[in-house]
Structures are given as C-alpha cells and as structure tokens.
Amino acid sequence: MHIHILGICGTFMGGIALLARAMGHQVSGSDANVYPPMSTQLQEAGIELMQGYDPAHLKPAPDCVVVGNAMSRGNPAVEYMLDAGLSYTSGPQWLAEHVLQGRWVLAVAGTHGKTSTASLLAWILEDAGLSPGFLIGGVPCNFGISARLGDTPFFVVEADEYDTAFFDKRSKFVHYRPRTLVLNNLEFDHADIFDDLAMIQQQFHHLVRTIPASGLIIAPAVDEAIDEVLAMGCWTGIERFSADAPGLWQAQRLAADGSKFTPLCDGESQGVVDWDLTGDHSINNALAAIAAARHAGVPGKVAVEALARFKNVKRRMELRGEVEGVRVYDDFAHHPTAIRTTLNGLRAQVGEGRIIAVLEPRSNTMRMGVSAAELPAALEAADQVLVYSPETLKWDAPSVFRSLGERAEVFDTVDGIIKTVTNGAVEGDHILIMSNDDFENIHQRILDILEQRYMQYG
C-alpha cells in the first residue's frame, strides 16, 4: 500500500511514517518545513519527502492520505485531496486501526510530563525484556528514535489532547483505547482550540470512558481538575501517586533536588532511584511510570533498577554543552507550571550557582497571553531572566515582567539575547533555554561564541 502523509515532519506524524514503513508500506510525505533531524530520520527509513503542499505530490493517487492536524481547509493539497475523492484518514485513527488493534496500549496523558513519563515507561518495559512498541512526541535517548512497532503486545503511546484533524475535532487520545492509562496532571492549555478547562476535562472524560474495567488508571493523589474528570464517571480501578501526598505510590527523598529517592508502594520500599534527573515533577513521572509498568507485569523493584539506566529525552533539561564552566541547557517549555518545576529542580541541584533563564513564549497558549500573568512567578528561581518578544507576540512583555525588576530584560531580537548572555556569562553559570521551537538555534550560537572567546583569550 502507498501511504502519503500531509504534515509528515511533525514529531507525531513522523512517528506514524516510521511505523507505516516498518510495516512494509510505501510511504511518502509532504511538509512546509522539511529539515533535519526529522527529515534525516525519515529519509534513512526509505521515506520520500516533498517540500510544500503541491497537489502534484498526490499524483498518481496514493492508496491512502494520512492528514496531520496542522492541515486545514484551503491548503492546496487538502483541497485537491477532497476534490479528487482520495481516501483519507487522520494520524490517530490510522494508528488505532493499523497498529494498536489487539495490543496492550499503555497511554500517558496530561498537561505536563507526557513525553518524559512515556519515555520512562517504554524504557522500563524495554529493560525488563518486554520489547514494547512506542510512539512518543520526543526522542528518548535510550532508543534514539521516536517510534517503533516493537515485538510484543505492549505499546506505549503519548496521549495528546490536541484535536485530531480538520475533519475530526475530538482529542487525539480518544482513538487509542488504552488498557493502562496514566493521567499525569491537568491544567488549562491549548487556548487556540479550547475555550476553558471544562472543555478539556470533557475530552479527558471521553478518554476515561474507553478504559476497560480490567484496566488501570494511574492518577495523582492531589489534582482537583483530574478528580472532577473522574467524578463524571469511572468504571476502572485507580492507583494514586504523589511525591508529597498520601497515595498508594509515594516517594521518600534522599536528595533535595530529587536526584535520589525511594519509591514506596503501599509503604513498601521498591529500592533506590539514583539518576541524573531532578525536580519533583521527575519524581512524580517516575512513580507513575513504575505503577504503569507494574500493571504490565514488571515488579516495582525491577522498574527501579531500570531507571538507573534511563538517559532522559532530547530537549528535556538536555545539557547542550559546557564552555569555560558555563553550562547551556535546552528545555521544551510550553506552560508556566512546567517552567516553574524545571527551574526549581535546577535551583535545588546547583544551590547558589547563577541561573540565567532565557524564555521564548512560543506555544499557542503562551503567544496568546492566556498564562502570561503566571510567568513572572514561574521564573522566580532564576537570577536573571531574558525574554524574547517578537512583533507577533500578542501581549506586552515589558509590562508583564516588570515585577521582576532589574532581573528581567525583554528583547525583540534573538541576536540581542545572545549578545547579552555571552557578554555576561562567567564560570559556574547555568543558562537555561526554554522554548518549544528551535529558537533560531540559540543554544549552539551561544556555545559557539563562548568557545570562540575561550580560544581567543584562553
């Protein structure tokens, strides 16, 4: 079968392409932005890539067009597909019908931590010898790829609440029919498609309604928004987890920054997690992943041993480089809560070390300014805050960050941020770059200038 994918270079659709290719299909795809590393990964898998959305890409007609959710009416390829009467479907529906049927699906949903928790879970299953399939919205460093079919019934999927396609406005995750479901947390997000939290809760409840009674829901011990979802109706057993509150799964901290702790199940130690990750959010992600893995048959103590070999995920507090004792990190920040927990984790790790937070408010919700008022408090743990505010930002950044005083500066160019950072950075500094886009490759540009300065002055 020939499958053509519109919007193939997104993380999710790229994963769909890799799975389809691994199943033996001829796969091609179009995207407005074809560039590495996704383009390289796809081409190495034997997938033909085309730049833009020319209707000619759909001639001769493929057997099926898989339409990414970034595609909308008016797109020339979409209009041709409809006029020509081509067979089409969405990515989530294709995944459900061709990959997930008959498998034990372990899904990870929530506003924050989906990619990290799904990666932890996939790695625990892998380390335990269960060889799961997975589709994750990032690149787990233990695997080096974002998707694979796997060799057993187990399949881990990052369950996103964003809409499915222009012809299917339900959340993607209602297609997946998991047997094991992790609900990490729930806050208002994606203001471009949801009017309020209640609309998102409705979609989460649609997901809960698909879980069999013999399945398992793993939910935080304290999360009012998730409790309200479950109160709408729940027919499945629930295990609660929390790093701080009472629940079946708890943690005993052995290091203040979260880099060492003991997971407890019903009060019983499961061993000691001693890893490179930090922050309360990482402990909670680990507890949820251990609980989900146990449902699939992996004892808690085996899961804990696997976490010592976990290598984190690209763009999640990823150390991009160190020059002259200045460390530059990359973090996929998309929401004030995630920013706060990440910064607090870094602060606990570095103590009095200086943290320079560089923020691009890039997600749709942050660009709209829905959560702008929460950002100064979220950045409180940073010593210096540099914010990128291009003309397209729909709110007054200097006014929002005024409460941080001289600690905060707002820039209308990335070059201005780079100049300020590289002029002021000294040994022992930690520069945390936060964005959910490439941020004009600011990480490497900062490292390159620091390296040049080191070579010049020694």
Whether 328 and 322 have beta carbons less than 8 Å apart is answered as yes
**pLDDT score of 36 more than 80:** no
pLDDT of residue 392: 84
Q: Which has more pLDDT, 282 or 366?
A: 282
Q: Where are the alpha helices (DSSP H) in 216-361?
A: 224-231, 280-295, 300-307, 336-350
What dihedral do alpha carbons 204, 209, 213, 218 form, nearest 10°? 0
pLDDT of residue 348: 86
pLDDT of residue 64: 98
Whether 335 and 371 have beta carbons less than 8 Å apart is answered as yes
**pLDDT score of 427 more than 80:** yes
What is the average pLDDT score of the chain? 93
Q: What does the pLDDT look like over 389-419, one tens digit per residue? A: 998 888 999 999 999 999 999 999 999 999 9
pLDDT of residue 41: 83
Report how far residue 181's alpha carbon sits from residue 238's, in angstroms, rounded to the nearest whole number: 10
Cα 374 off chain centre by: 21
Q: Grade residue 25 by pLDDT with cuts at 50, 70 and 90.
A: very high
Pairing state between β 384-388 and 318-323: unpaired
State the average pLDDT over residues 26-34: 92
**pLDDT score of 457 more than 80:** no
Lookup: tokens for 453: 């300065």
pLDDT of residue 453: 83
User: Quick one: which of 232, 428, 41, 429 has its CA closest to 420?
Assistant: 429
**pLDDT score of 45 more than 80:** yes
pLDDT of residue 458: 63
**pLDDT score of 333 more than 80:** no
DSSP string, 72-131: -TT-HHHHHHHHTT--EEEHHHHHIIIIITTSEEEEEESSS-HHHHHHHHHHHHHHTT--
Q: What does the pLDDT look like over 315-331, one tens digit per residue? A: 888 899 999 899 999 99
State the average pLDDT over residues 130-137: 96
Q: What does the pLDDT look like over 223-255, one tens digit per residue? A: 999 999 999 999 999 999 999 888 999 999 999
**pLDDT score of 134 more than 70:** yes
**pLDDT score of 101 more than 90:** yes
pLDDT of residue 39: 82
Taking the model in full, what pTM does it have?
0.88
Residues sharing a CB contact under 8 Å with residue 21, sequence separation 6 or more, in sequence order: 27, 45, 46, 47
Q: Grade residue 353 by pLDDT with cuts at 50, 70 and 90.
A: very high
Q: Grade residue 438 by pLDDT with cuts at 50, 70 and 90.
A: confident
E-strand ranges in 360-413 read 384-388, 408-411
pLDDT of residue 10: 87
**pLDDT score of 89 more than 70:** yes
Lookup: tokens for 388: 């990128």
